[in-house]
């Protein structure tokens, strides 16, 4: 199948003067015509540097328009864009570069100190975010020779977080990125009238593919957010008349405690979305009290990341549900014995659709273990109610087996977080000679709050079966987070093993 549609160029022809991108910190704005011009200019510059179809172009940068410049430029040439997690150590970054072997790396001026450590005889660099780069992005457009590009050809490699081992390079084709966007636009009802602000890191699929690319395809406006601050986020949602936003639960946790959130009525917002991790029910309650539409979703780098739809009305009634599969993807559950579970019985989530990833870069075995007969085996657990609504339970690796009983941490975490003195809660299994594993809870309390173990036990006994009640409570000032704001259970495991 021939890939001929350069949709950014077509979007720029249809709505050339509509604002496509705004940068929050500098308040710079670019129209669709200007965004396409930048991508064409960068593509020509890359071509002059010898970049051809299949070559990898890496980027180390905070959230910045260069992510979109390089993604679209690579799309025009058939090259492959590789955004890198700038929060990793230099050693970890070099390990990823050795895996994907790019021929060129863009480094934001904020990280210029990494240049000598990351470059080599086979890898040259260029600076991003400074005057020379902006001049390069404004060069006159000229035609370059373009090889035939298929929709199955890779467009991006996004490396997974690596919290459970070495990061894997998830290869996303032109097809997978486009169909995630089409599926999202149609299922969620996005349009040219929508504006979002993106605070999620753009090296992550949530920052790049969850809302940014779908809204650009629909002709809306994407505000590139700077460092997240709860008060500033509320002000920016109002300033830019945002209609939809995706944040992770830890961001919402911060935002709902601000005076700005309590005072603002958010007149332009259609819906607040939560993703990346299950959302505590008290966040639902904060939005419900203000009569604001709020819901959560589920996705992963290998699929989408958008897979479900639920209306805000249903989300409020069925709190914790991610809804039903979207129009152009399929979802099913499978138990460890290979059978599909009954209603409200837990099984692993399997996903299929044109938005699926192609393969793991240089990891054939891992690909074969994950994709079977076209279905992505996610490693995540869910249940489905009698009306077909899905509820995420947790990850297979997070499930605790204590005394032969299966315990799903999310249920306990939701209940602990509902306590008025608890700010955050996370539950893991710790090794135990008698039980195999014991349920251990990590608690961060609200300022000036005090909570004894016995009070926590009594609180748990009022809702949870005895085998689910934590046998150990560990208090921390703040729970550790990953680079996308998820609670880092790998670090909690290390802390728990040393207690």
DSSP-assigned beta bridge partners for residue 86: none
> How distant, in Å, are the alpha carbons of 158, 430, 488 from that of 437?
34, 5, 19
Assess contact for 83 and 202: CB atoms under 8 A. Answer: yes
The answer, yes or no, to whether residue 434 has pLDDT greater than 60, is yes
The whole-angstrom separation of Cα 180 and Cα 285 is 30
The whole-angstrom separation of Cα 86 and Cα 68 is 17
The beta-strand segments (E) located in 373-489 are 375-384, 390-395, 400-402, 405-407, 422-432, 436-445, 472-475
Helix, strand, coil tally for the chain in percent (to 5): 35, 30, 40
**Taking CA 202 as the corner, what is the angle to CA 392 and CA 492, rounded to the nearest 5 degrees?**
50
Q: What digits encode the pLDDT tens for the residues 17-76?
A: 999 999 999 999 999 999 999 999 999 999 999 999 999 999 999 999 999 999 999 999
pLDDT of 487 reads 85
pLDDT of 345 reads 94
Q: What digits encode the pLDDT tens for the residues 248-284?
A: 888 898 899 999 999 999 999 999 999 887 788 888 9
Average confidence (pLDDT) over 329-344: 93
Assess contact for 186 and 327: CB atoms under 8 A. Answer: yes
**Taking CA 126 as the corner, what is the angle to CA 115 and CA 50, rounded to the nearest 5 degrees?**
125
The whole-angstrom separation of Cα 60 and Cα 109 is 10
Domains (ranges, CATH) in the chain? 2-384 (3.40.50.12780), 399-497 (3.30.300.30)
The whole-angstrom separation of Cα 90 and Cα 218 is 37
> How distant, in Å, are the alpha carbons of 189, 194, 212, 260, 382 from that of 181?
11, 14, 9, 32, 24
Q: Return mean pLDDT, the chain.
A: 91
Q: What digits encode the pLDDT tens for the residues 409-433?
A: 888 888 898 898 998 899 988 988 7
The answer, yes or no, to whether residue 162 has pLDDT greater than 70, is no
The answer, yes or no, to whether residue 1 has pLDDT greater than 60, is no
The whole-angstrom separation of Cα 179 and Cα 214 is 9
Element (DSSP H or E) covering residue 212: helix 212-218
pLDDT band for 165, please (50, 70, 90 cuts).
low
pLDDT of 163 reads 45
pLDDT of 4 reads 55
Instruction: Say which DSSP state 488 is in.
Output: -
């Amino acid at each position: 199948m021939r890939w001929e549609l350069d949709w950014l160029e077509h979007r720029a022809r249809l709505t050339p003067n509509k604002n496509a991108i705004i940068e929050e910190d500098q308040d710079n704005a670019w129209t669709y015509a200007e965004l396409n011009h930048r991508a064409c200019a960068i593509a020509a510059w890359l071509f002059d540097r010898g970049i051809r179809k299949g070559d990898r172009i890496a980027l180390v940068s905070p959230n910045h328009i260069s992510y979109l410049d390089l993604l679209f430029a690579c799309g025009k040439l058939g090259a492959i864009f590789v955004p890198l997690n700038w929060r990793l150590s230099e050693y970890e970054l070099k390990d990823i570069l050795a895996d994907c072997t790019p021929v060129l790396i863009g480094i934001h001026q904020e990280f210029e100190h990494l240049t000598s450590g990351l470059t080599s005889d086979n890898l040259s660099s260029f600076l991003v975010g400074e005057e020379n780069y902006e001049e390069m992005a404004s060069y006159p457009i000229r035609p370059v020779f373009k090889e035939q590009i298929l929709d199955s050809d890779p467009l991006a490699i996004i490396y997974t977080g690596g919290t459970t081992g070495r990061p894997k390079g998830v290869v996303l084709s032109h097809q997978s990125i486009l169909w995630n966007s089409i599926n999202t636009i149609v299922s969620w009802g996005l349009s040219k009238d929508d504006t979002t602000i993106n605070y999620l890191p753009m090296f992550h699929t949530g920052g790049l593919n969850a809302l940014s690319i779908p809204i650009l395809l629909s002709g809306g406006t994407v505000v590139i957010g700077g460092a997240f601050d709860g008060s500033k986020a509320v002000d920016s949602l109002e300033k830019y008349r945002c209609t939809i936003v995706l944040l992770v639960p830890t961001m919402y946790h911060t935002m709902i405690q601000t005076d700005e959130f309590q005072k603002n009525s958010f007149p332009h917002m259609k819906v607040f979305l939560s993703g990346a991790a299950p959302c505590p029910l008290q966040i639902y309650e904060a939005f419900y009290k203000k009569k604001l539409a709020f819901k959560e979703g589920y996705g992963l780098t290998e699929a989408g990341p958008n897979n479900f739809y639920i209306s805000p009305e249903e989300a409020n009634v069925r709190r914790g549900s991610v809804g039903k599969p979207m129009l152009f993807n399929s979802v099913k559950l499978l138990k460890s014995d290979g059978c599909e579970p009954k209603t409200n019985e837990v099984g692993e989530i399997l996903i299929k659709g044109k938005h699926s990833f192609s393969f793991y870069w240089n990891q054939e075995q891992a690909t074969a273990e994950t994709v079977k007969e076209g279905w992505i085996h996610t490693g995540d657990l869910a249940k489905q109610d009698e009306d077909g609504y899905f509820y995420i339970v947790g990850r297979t690796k997070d499930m605790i087996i204590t005394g032969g009983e299966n315990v799903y941490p999310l249920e306990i975490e939701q209940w602990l977080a509902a306590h008025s003195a608890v700010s955050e809660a996370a539950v893991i299994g710790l090794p135990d000679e008698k039980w195999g594993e014991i349920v251990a809870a990590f608690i961060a309390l609200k300022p000036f709050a005090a909570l004894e173990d016995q009070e926590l036990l009594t609180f748990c006994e009022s809702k949870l079966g005895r085998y689910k009640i934590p046998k150990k409570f560990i208090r921390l000032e703040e729970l550790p987070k990953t680079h996308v704001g998820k609670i880092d259970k790998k670090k909690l495991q290390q802390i728990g093993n040393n207690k």
